[in-house]
Amino acid sequence: MGRIVLVTGGARSGKSAYAEARAAEIGGTRVTYIATAEALDEEMQIRIARHRMDRPVEWITEEAPRGVGNAVRRAITPVVLVDCLTVLASNALLAVEGEGEEAAMAAVLAEADALREAALAHHGTTLIVTNEVGMGVHPPTALGRWYRDGLGRANARIAAAAGEVVLLVSGIPLKIKSM
């Protein structure tokens, strides 16, 4: 059975850098990096380029804005790093935009559940980066609330299956679960 390490925290708290360092520590150059972001605007293009430059060139990179569970199942390396569940949830939500809260929640949780099951079936360690969005401002729109609630539930489901959960606060990792 695979091991899940969930890395969570606020925006720009150092989650990705921490997860990348842990992936290198565990797998060296034998890491599959699964990116969920799409370069839909210039700012995101710059972020993606910066992330690519930060990763070792030997790592396998797969772009998977949806269907991340399938990408994890295809991975042949002992370590998989998924960055990030936050964007995956957004992608899932936007794919069913206009279909209502039930469809939104189902889409987000289906992606999270598929990711969790694939990570548990993986032959090594899967690090999953996500944002903790439940401690912030109450979203003013229904879509924002569905996103916050869906991601919160998705995070809880993955954390329940994880052997380790690390919370990054201002760049400082706090281990909140370890088995």
Beta strands in the chain (DSSP E): 3-9, 31-35, 60-63, 79-83, 125-129, 164-169, 172-178
Residues designated as active site = 51
User: Quick one: the chain helix, strand, coil %, rounded to 5?
Assistant: 45, 20, 30
Tell me, rounded to whole angstroms, the distance of Cα 104 from its chain centroid.
Answer: 18
Classified as helix, coil or strand, 21 is helix
CB atoms within 10 A of CB 41: 9
